[in-house]
Amino acid sequence: MSRKSFESYGRIAENFSNYTEISGRLKVQEESEKNIVADVIKKLNLKSNDSLLEIGCGAGNLLIPLSFAVDTIDGIDHISCIELLKRRFPKGENINFIPGNFLDVAIDDVYSKILCYSVLHYLKNRDEVFEFINKSLRLLSPGGKALFGDIPNSSLKNRFINSNRGRKFLKEWQALVNSETSGNQGCFDKDDELVEFDDDFVAEIVRKYQKEGYSTYVLSQPENLPFGNTREDILIIKTD
C-alpha cells in the first residue's frame, strides 16, 4: 500500500466513528458489507482446519467473523488498526496480529488460505502490485488459495454506468451518498500515486500467474456487495 494511504487508514482508525468507514466504505453500505463474509467463505472454500492470513484486516469487519470459520487467522495492518481491533475483540483466542505494512514486514509462516480484500488498488503502480502478489503467494502452502478481492476495474465500471441499469443506479446512489456525512473527513489524504485496474491489467495478472503454474481466475461479485456492480476478485491457487 502506498505510504500516504497506509497512514491515512491509520488516522481513520485513531479517529473512527464507524467500523464500516474504517474499511474505506460508507455508512450506507454497512448492511451490504456483511454479505462479504459469506462470499469470501465460498470463494476461498474455507474449512475449520484452515490457517488464514488476512492482509489489510482493518478493524476486523471480515477477520472477526472469519475467525469462527477457520482454525487460526493472522491479521496484518497499521498498528492503529491492530490496536483498535484488539479493543474491539479481545477474546479471539485463534487470532494473531501482525502490525505493519505487508511489503515491509517479514512473515515466516505459511498459510492454507490468504485473503487480501480492498487493498490492491491502494498500491502505487503495477510493479508494486506484482511485488505484493508475489510475496503473498510465497506464504501460501501447496494447494492453498489466495483471494485478492474487491478490485475496482475501471473498464467494468464504465460498462455498468453506461448501461440503462447503471445510469438508474448511479442517480439513486449519488442521492444516497449526498445525504450522508462521513466521520472520516480530514483523515484521508488524497493520494494521486495509485495504480489503476482495467480489463487489460486484470488480464495481464491472470496470464502472468497462469504461466507460472498457478490456477488463476477472475470472479464476479454478487450485486448485494457494497461495490458488487463495479468490482471483481482474482483467485489464485497454488498447485500441490
Query: Which range among 67-76, 121-130, 167-176, 199-208 shows the weakest confidence by mean pLDDT?
Result: 167-176
Please work out, in degrees rounded to the nearest 5, the angle formed at the alpha carbon of residue 63 by the alpha carbons of 62 and 64.
95
Q: Which residue bears the cell 487470532?
A: 95
C-alpha cell at position 220: 464476479
Task: Specify the CATH number for the domain of residue 223.
Answer: 3.40.50.150
Q: Which residue bears the cell 510465497?
A: 138
20-31 pLDDT tens trace: 777 777 788 989
Confidence label for 187 from pLDDT (cuts 50, 70 and 90): very low
CA 123 from centre of chain: 12
Confidence label for 13 from pLDDT (cuts 50, 70 and 90): low
Q: Give the per-residue pLDDT at 177.
A: 82
Taking residues 164-189, report their average pLDDT.
Answer: 76
Q: Give the per-residue pLDDT at 28.
A: 85
Domain span holding position 195: 3-237
pLDDT at 125 over 70: yes
pLDDT at 193 over 90: no
Q: What is the largest CA-CA distance in the chain?
A: 51
Q: Give the per-residue pLDDT at 1.
A: 53
Domain count, the chain: 1
Q: Give the per-residue pLDDT at 209.
A: 99
Taking residues 87-95, report their average pLDDT.
Answer: 92
Q: Give the per-residue pLDDT at 97.
A: 96
pLDDT at 216 over 90: yes
> How does DSSP assign 53-88, residue by residue?
EEES-TTSTTHHHHTTTSSEEEEEE-HHHHHHHHHH
Q: What is the residue-averaged pLDDT of the chain?
A: 90
Please work out, in degrees rounded to the nearest 5, the angle formed at the alpha carbon of residue 135 by the alpha carbons of 134 and 136.
90
CA distance linking residue 121 with residue 117, whole number of Å: 10
The DSSP H or E segment spanning 235 is strand 231-237
Taking residues 92-118, report their average pLDDT.
Answer: 96
22, 85 contact by CB (below 8 A): no
Which is higher by pLDDT, 216 or 5? 216
Type of residue at 165: R
Q: What's the pTM?
A: 0.89
pLDDT at 18 over 80: no
Q: Which residues pair with 52 in a beta bridge?
A: 73, 113
Q: Give the per-residue pLDDT at 176.
A: 84
